[in-house]
Structure 1
Amino acid sequence: MKISSNLLASTILGIGLIASAATVHADARSDQYPASPITLVVPFSAGGGVDVVGRILAKSLSTELGASIVVENKPGASGMIGASYVAHAKPDGLTLLLASSGEVAINPHLYKDMNYSPEKDLAPISLVSRIPNLLSVNPQLPIKNVGELVAYAKAHPDTLSYSSSGVGNIQNITGELLNSMAGIHILHVPYKGSAQAVADVAGGQVSMTFASGAASLPFIESGKIRPIGVTSDKPMKAFPDVPPIKDTPELKDFLLVNWFGLFTTAGTPDSIVQKLNAATVKALANPEVVKALESQGADPAPMSPQAFADFRADQSKLFGQIIRDAHIAIK
């Protein structure tokens, strides 16, 4: 069957017009975005590390986008309640998630009944910051460094406990990695967020904790907890006198760094995702934001949506290997 040149030309023109119209429509949505206030979901309780970083970011991001941004805390289930809320929101870019590594890279290796897929249901916008965790103890304990902690745990088995912001969270993974590598057993006590997890170390209900600088700082400044190590391979700028855990001879291979990243609902138009990314990159380049984040122990680390998608996937593989090697399981 022969197709006339006029019909073929008309078909090609029609396809071109449709594609052009779709592009114009997408651009129009991007130009109009955001037409309503934005909700930034923090999947942990107020006062914790994710919450503090989220509020710093929201203020600057609001300026860059020219829109109101409301921070909404939705804690519980190791961050999965808040993450699920965003995963099932309307894909219009008006509902954002500031996630830690737990709910988007760790939990899939621990939970079989997650009602969202980080890869399929969340659209990556940008990595926001890398956050080493501080290992801090109650100051009443005779422990001033990680070596003394290991020795105390071996001499007094089953007497120490550590808190985290949830089962399967990065702090939990870090605690179990310490147990495994040091050959000790320190009981895990999970909370719904790092704020109460750190507060109970200060109050003596729990022996120690792994928490971000943001969550730890007020208690360190008041002398209510004692930082003895950091999970990165070098000291944090905000806590230069706290050595890496890996400086302890029996833990020379210890290294695990948390991170926070910005997501929205999958299916959000790419033009809006790109606009959010550009605004986030600008916000994280603001000297005041950089200073505020670094004072909380967070290093700004923006990247493109695709680079962040690749980063999340690589980190998920890493955490999965640690979980298998350390035999970590949800009981």
Structure 2
Amino acid sequence: MTLTEGAAERERFAERPSSRYGPRRAHARRSKRRRRLRRAVLVVLVVPVLVAGGTYGWAESRLRRDVDLGAYGHRPPPGAGTNYLIVGSDSRDGLSEGDVEDLHAGGGGGRRTDSMMLVHTGAHGATMVSLPRDSYVTLPGRLDTLTGKTKRPERDKLNAAFSYGGPELLAHTVERNTGLRIDHYAEIGFAGFVNIVDAIGGVRMCLDRDIVDEKSGADLRKGCHTLDGRQALAFVRQRHQEREGDLGRSKNQQKFLSTLAHQAARPDTLFDPLRAGPAAQAGLDTLIVDEDMDLRDLGTMFRAVRGVAGGQGKQINVPVSGIGVPTSKGNVLTWDARRSARLFDDLRHDRPVTERGETTRRR
């Protein structure tokens, strides 16, 4: 009997209902696969991190728990369910000068973010809400680190909070303007994003038009493509080709994040050590989380994002009433006060979300 014939014979034996051992062993194998899947932890937010079996302790030790969500005090009371703030920053940690040039990641001082998403999990599933960086919000009073003086609350773009005070001020600003308590925070920089996408073999995206943007480096053609890390970063950063500007970019980021979460969770990625291992290290090396975050929290967050990608959740933008509204801080997006308040109230009380996130255009 040849090796091929032998394998076929063993497979037929395993499928026989009368076999004393075949079904039991097959069931055991299926149960073992399910247990492995439950143990696997991926984070996306572009932040997918795989941690399975014996790598758990190693991964726990590499988490950078740098963010103190209570640094500014005066936080909203805990609500029902759990709220995660997922941020993509322009951190260049891990990039060489050549990488910075190739990724169009240079220019500008300070620390910025192009991507902010609020993910809520609770009794009614997951809801992912994009918070455009140009949202016109109230920044809380704070100590100005440049002057040493206390600044009064002021209106500015949401992205400015990250630039002025990093993750702590950003989380505090989101809490103040939504009334939601941020339970966990996850941030990944340029290098981590690129490396994760490359580690899982790229992300398949279908575009309805050509996208060419000099500032982000995007040069993509209409149709379906597997984007590598550099192309993916350019795609989620570009906004000048979007009719709705920053709001359009937020929609692209939601679409990409969901696709990435769905693809990273495929069995052939989860259990392929040549792909899962590099993805885990790529994510953990540049991932920044809050002080109370652990791998179980990351796993819950990932499953929420993956669920939204699979249609088991809601994916919306914060309701916007104005796009490109001129202010002393530049052109901004204004939230629809009534509808956004209703959305955040539903999330705070873990009620089913009825808001669709459609935009009332006003300039």
Could you state the TM-score of these two structures normalised by the residue count of structure 1? 0.25
Greater helix share, structure number:
1
Could you state the TM-score of these two structures normalised by the residue count of structure 2? 0.24
